[in-house]
Amino acid sequence: MYIYTYNYMNSEVFKALGNKTRLKIIKTLMIREHNVTDLTQISGKDQTTISRHLSTLANSKIIKHKRIGRNIFYSIINMEMEEWLKLTITIKRKIPIESVLRDKIKDFLNKQKKEIYE
């Protein structure tokens, strides 16, 4: 029997998580499913922007949608993804990426400076 397993570590997933609006959408959908109207009101963004972000999240296999009457409701694709997102968001909060990058840039510049003056 073939069991499909999704590679959560692919670049599309991390790229999708790299945008503040998409991250806010994900956090909102982790609470419960919402339609585009709900998400525009919650985020303060226009419908076109939210729809574009939802498309990116769906293409990354992070969210799914279902139609109920005229409304399309979005939710996290499955519990496994939701648990992975919780863990990833927690880790992201605990590791200040800016300071990591700042330290790497400092190290690089110091190395360049040493090479110039040696």
Sequence-ordered list of residues with C-beta below 8 angstroms from that of 109, at least 6 positions apart, any chain: none
pLDDT digits (tens, 9 = 90+) for 72-118: 999 999 999 999 899 888 877 666 656 666 677 777 777 776 666 66
- Whether 6 is in a domain gets the answer no
Q: Can you give the pTM of this predicted structure?
A: 0.71
Q: Which CATH number is 52's domain given?
A: 1.10.10.10
Task: Give residue 102's domain range.
Answer: 11-117
Say how many C-beta atoms besides its own lie within 10 A of residue 36's C-beta: 17
| Structure tokens that stand for 33 in this block | 């499913």
Which has more pLDDT, 10 or 75? Answer: 75
Domain count, the chain: 1
Find, among 56, 58, 55, 29, the residue nearest to 43 by Cα. 29
Residue 8 has pLDDT above 80, yes or no: no
5-21 exposure pattern, b = at least 16 Cβ within 10 A, e = fewer:
eeebeeeebeebbeeeb
